[in-house]
Amino acid sequence: MNPRGNADVETRIETFQIGSFVSAGDGKDAITVSGVEKTFGWRGRAFKALDGLSLGVPQGCVYGLLGPNGAGKSTLLRIIAGLVRPDRGSVSIFGENACRESRRRLGMLIEAPAFYPFLTAREHLEMFARMSETITMVEPILRRVGIGYAADKKVSAFSLGMKQRLGIGCALVARPDALVLDEPTNGLDPDGILEIRSLIVELAQRDGITVLLSSHLLDEVERICDRVAILRNGRMSAQGRVDDLLDSQARFWLNVDFPQVVLERLASQADAGDGGVYVRIGRDDAPELIRMLANANIRIFEAKWIKPDLESVFLSETRREIQ
C-alpha cells in the first residue's frame, strides 16, 4: 500500500516505466554533437569555451563528461538543452535536429534546481507536468526518485539530497528518453551521492533512459558510466568506453630475478617500479618479450597488465602538453 493508501495506484507504480525503452546498443546516438563552437565575450575579451567539439552519446548508455574547471562541460550541456546558442556546429537528438520538439525527448537538470519553498514535492511535479503539457501520474515518479514518503512536504523542509531527487523527478515528468544532468551529485553527502548514483544506473538499466552527465567525481564516473569524454580547453582530449580508455593506458609489469638486466636490455622501453619492471609495449608484443627473456635465462615470477584508474587517465590527459 502506498503512503496514500491507494492500492490501485500502488499496482500502477510497480509497472510504471519512465522512458519509452529505446534499446541499448542498436548503434544509434541519442545525442550527437558535431563541430560545436561557442565564444563568450568579444574582441580582446573573447573567450572560446567550445572549440569544434564533436561527440556521440549512444542510446541506452550512461555517458560521463569530464574536464577541469572551465573545460566547457556546462556550456556543452546548456547548448544541448537549448539554453545557449552555439556559434557553429549542430546538435541532434535521436537523429533529429535539436529544436523545441526534439528536445521534448530530453529531461534536464542543468542548473541547481530552483524550487518554490511553499510548494510540496507533489505540487512541483504537477506544475512541471502542466508546463510540459504532459498527462502523467506524479505518484510513481516520486516513488521512483525515492521521495514518495515526502510527497506532501513543503520543499522548504527538504534536504539538499531530497531537492536533487526532486530535480531529477521534475526532469522525468515528461517521460524523457534521455536525461542531461549537470553535476547531479554536487553538494551531496556520501550517502546522498550513493543514492543518486544508484538511481541514475537504475534509470538507465531498468527504464532504458540514456544519461549524459557531467561530474568532477572521477570514481563516480568510473563506477556508473559506460563511456566518457574528457574535455580540455573546449576540445575533446579523449573519449571512448571506460574499459577501453583504461585498457589503452594499461602497463605491462614483470617480476623477474634480475630486473637490472631487463632494464638494461629494454633501455628506454622500461622503468623500475613496484619491485619489478614496467615495460611500454603493446599487448600483441607481450608473448614475444616473455619468450625473449626466457631465452636469456631470466626467470619470470609474475607478469601482468596493470590498468590505471580513471583519475590517472584524467590527469595524464589534462596535463599532457597540447600538440
Ligand X SMILES: Nc1ncnc2c1ncn2[C@@H]1O[C@H](COP(=O)(O)OP(=O)(O)OP(=O)(O)O)[C@@H](O)[C@H]1O
Of 147 and 310, CB closest to ligand X: 310
Q: Burial level of 79, CB count in 10 A (0-12/13-18/19+)? A: buried
Of 98 and 141, CB closest to ligand X: 98
Of 53 and 313, CB closest to ligand X: 53
Tell me: does residue 187 bind ligand X (CB under 6 A).
no
d(CA 270, CA 185): 40
Of 73 and 165, CB closest to ligand X: 73
d(CA 70, CA 65): 13
**Minimum gap (Å) between residue 317 Cβ and ligand X:** 14
**Minimum gap (Å) between residue 274 Cβ and ligand X:** 33
Q: What is the DSSP string of 75-97?
A: HHHHHHHTSS--SEEEEEETTEE
**Minimum gap (Å) between residue 69 Cβ and ligand X:** 3
Phi, psi angle pair for 212, to nearest 5°: -115, 120
Of 138 and 188, CB closest to ligand X: 188
Crossing angle of helices 121-131 and 160-172, rounded to 10°: 30
Three-state DSSP class for residue 253: strand
DSSP 254: E
Tell me: does residue 105 bind ligand X (CB under 6 A).
no
Burial 126-142 (b: 16+ CB within 10 A, else e): ebbbeeeeeebebbbbb
Number of residues that bind ligand X (CB under 6 A): 12
What is the number of other CB atoms lying within 10 angstroms of the CB of residue 223?
15
**Minimum gap (Å) between residue 72 Cβ and ligand X:** 4
**Minimum gap (Å) between residue 45 Cβ and ligand X:** 9
**Minimum gap (Å) between residue 100 Cβ and ligand X:** 22
Residues 51-80 interacting with ligand X (rule: CB under 6 A)? 67, 69-75
d(CA 1, CA 4): 8
**Minimum gap (Å) between residue 64 Cβ and ligand X:** 13
Among 47, 116, 149, 305, binds ligand X (CB under 6 A): 47
Of 49 and 188, CB closest to ligand X: 49
Of 2 and 74, CB closest to ligand X: 74
Tell me: does residue 40 bind ligand X (CB under 6 A).
yes
State the residues that interact with ligand X by CB under 6 A: 40-41, 47, 49, 67, 69-75
